[in-house]
Chain A
Amino acid sequence: MLAEALNLVLQPSVLLYIVLGVAGGMCIGCLPGLTTTMGVALVLPLTFGMDATHSILLLIGVYVGAVYGGSISAILLNTPGTPASAATALDGYKMASRGEAGRALGISTTSSFLGGTISCIFLILISPLLAKFALRFSAPEFFMLAVFGLCVISSISGKSMLLGLISGAFGILIATIGIDDITGTLRFTFNNMNLFSGINFIPVMIGLFAMSQAFVGVEDIFKKTAPTRKVTKVFPERSDWGVIIKNSFAFGSLGTFIGSIPGVGADIASFIAYGQAKSMSKHPEKFGTGLPEAISAPEAANNGVTGGALIPMLTLGVPGDAVAAIMIGALTVQGLQPGPLLFQNDGPIVYAIFIGLLIANVCMLVLGLNSVRLFTKVLSVPKSILVPTIFLLCFVGSYALANNIFDVIVMLFFGILGYFFQKIEMSSSPIILGLILGPMAESNFRRALLMGRGDYGTFLSTGICWVFFILIIVSLFLPMLQKKLLKSR
């Protein structure tokens, strides 16, 4: 079986496709507005003419590349290319603006690689086990998971917890616009058809991060900035390796686990990883100033999701996230049926996917480290040209999402709003978190009560619920306890 699979993968053309996929994915990922899902969907029609191995491994290459690529623009320009790297921007950009762009990119690249590789190993060894566990998630568990995720707001609020709470609530409320998932009623749409399916959170993110950052750039456009230190070393220094390895193992596994739960993706994983890294840290107060572990944790987690998301797809035939849903489409076009029968009927292709995923991660590492110098060149482009180009990319990126001018209006609105938020030192990240997790929390809250016939006991009816309940309590009160302890000392 393994030999057959190796035969399938180790053809020059297949390897070339993986390399092309990863490179293309990196480009798509680092452009704001072009999400991972969109990148994979764009490549899908090209695969119709290929055989199964070429097709699925090209898509996997794009997937791995795009999830990693988002962090490049997040670190260099404070402009997360995909929602999954919004958490990386928090500390990555701070480190880069200290002149250590090369170090930040090196940490994110190696952590992404290690996280991706670990998830791949989990995928190979214990995917049936994880899949069975993931199936136990129902509405109450999803609700508790969403609430646990929302607790991360306390970690990403920046200077003021209260302002963070307001911005988180604001994000959740924006997400309630549109057709209500449970009853189908229209909420806050004011009869505007563009609002029926809600406000897409990608334009909001582009506005809050990229656009408002460009406005800040306009503010000091005539100021001479300190030249970025020349990137001498792209491979992380020895002092960073301890952090990278520790975080990659912990949060790569966390990412795999989160990815294996159907419907929960890389964006949620990276925020949860950031929050956990902060609450586990010995110096949580330094988060947000450009710490290596704050870059490593979300990056390991979001690439950890890549392998995790394939688990329910390969073992159960249900998509782990939107990207996996497209891959299922790609496999069925080839006449393969993902699911329990795939292992029995088409074993070699399953192993080919495993090997291909490993190779894609190696590709990402090599391409990533080699192009760090190239990417940091962006920082030497004069601001007078860079800022207008970012304006343009924000416009085009938000339009490209659904070919809808309305999304551009949304982006511009949140760009202006985000500029004022920066002025008042209100963190924008909780808005993104609220937008991502708000709908998950609400619909599962109501779905759980619908399935539990109105009994609130349903939220603590299973072991998984209790675990999340304890985690929520711990993550809310641990920081307070730590503060007290520090003070009394």
Chain B
Amino acid sequence: MRKGKLVLAGVFITLSLFIIAFALELPASRKGVPGPGTWPILISLIMLFSAITVAIKSFNDKDKKPLGIAGKEQVRVYLSMISLVIYLIAMTFIGFAVSTFVMLYGFITWFSSYKWYFRVISSFAITAVIYCVFHYVLKVPFRFGVLF
């Protein structure tokens, strides 16, 4: 937990400094009305001071509670995140319906021990229902990719 908080504080300190640097280049105030940079700088300062306080506090903190981001369960989460990024890319190139079916089939196979035909049917059914509801009822256009 302690390490995690230090990393978090570090990330937000960097982010706030980055924003302040960017905001300083925006046009200045005019006729007493704050310019576009003032507000981001003000908020970044609040973020900067809070992040520094968090850093100092957790530096002195003897909290030994593990953060729990490197276990077997978490690796599974990271793999799902990567799969979803691939799904997003596949969707734009291949097409919505096909890649959705593959995504669902893949995840259900991974997460369960159902018979193959049950997995095929359920993935197909979910894809079909979502496609029909969004495409025909809600008129959302799924027009991308080479396939369906």
Contact = CB atoms under 8 A, between A and B. Distances in A.
On whether A and B touch (CB less than 8 Å), the answer reads: yes
Contact of A169 (B50, B53, B108, B138): B50
Interface stretch (A73-81, A380-388, A462-470): A380-388
15 contacts: A166-B47, A166-B50, A169-B46, A176-B39, A182-B36, A221-B111, A384-B107, A384-B114, A388-B108, A392-B100, A395-B88, A400-B138, A403-B140, A446-B39, A454-B32
A163 B33 contact: no
Given A391-B84, A423-B68, A453 B32 contact: yes
B67 interface: yes
Nearest to A425: B1
A384 B112 contact: yes
Contact of A385 (B57, B112, B141): B112
B8 A426 contact: yes
Interface in B63-106: 67-69, 73-74, 76-77, 80-81, 84-85, 87-88, 91-92, 100, 103-104
A442 B39 contact: yes
A385 B122 CA distance: 8
Nearest to A399: B140
B69 A420 contact: yes
Nearest to A442: B39
Interface of A: 34, 42, 160, 162-163, 165-166, 169-170, 172-173, 176, 180, 182-183, 185, 187-188, 215, 218-222, 382-385, 387-389, 391-393, 395-396, 399-400, 403, 405, 408-409, 412, 415-416, 419-420, 423-424, 426, 438, 442, 445-446, 449-450, 453-455
A404 to B, nearest CB: 11
A160 to B, nearest CB: 8
State the majority secondary structure of interface residues on B: helix
A166 B12 contact: yes
Contacts of B31: 453-454
A449 B30 CA distance: 11
A482 to B, nearest CB: 23
B107 A220 contact: no
Given A182-B33, A220-B73, 16 more contacts: A42-B138, A169-B44, A169-B46, A183-B36, A221-B76, A221-B111, A384-B111, A384-B112, A388-B103, A391-B107, A392-B103, A392-B104, A395-B87, A412-B85, A412-B88, A454-B33
Contacts of A405: 88, 92, 144
Interface residues of B, number: 62
A449 B47 contact: no
Contact of A450 (B15, B33, B69, B92): B33
A279 B148 CA distance: 54
A430 to B, nearest CB: 11
B19 A173 contact: yes
Contacts of A399: 140
Interface in B1-48: 1, 4-5, 8, 12, 15-16, 19, 22-23, 26-27, 31-36, 39-40, 43-44, 46-47
Contacts of B80: 215, 218, 391
A387 B134 CA distance: 19
B41 to A, nearest CB: 10
Contacts of B69: 420, 423
Interface string B123-146: 000110010001000111100100
A185 B68 CA distance: 43
Contact of B112 (A382, A393, A450): A382
A445 B8 contact: no
Contacts of B104: 388-389, 392
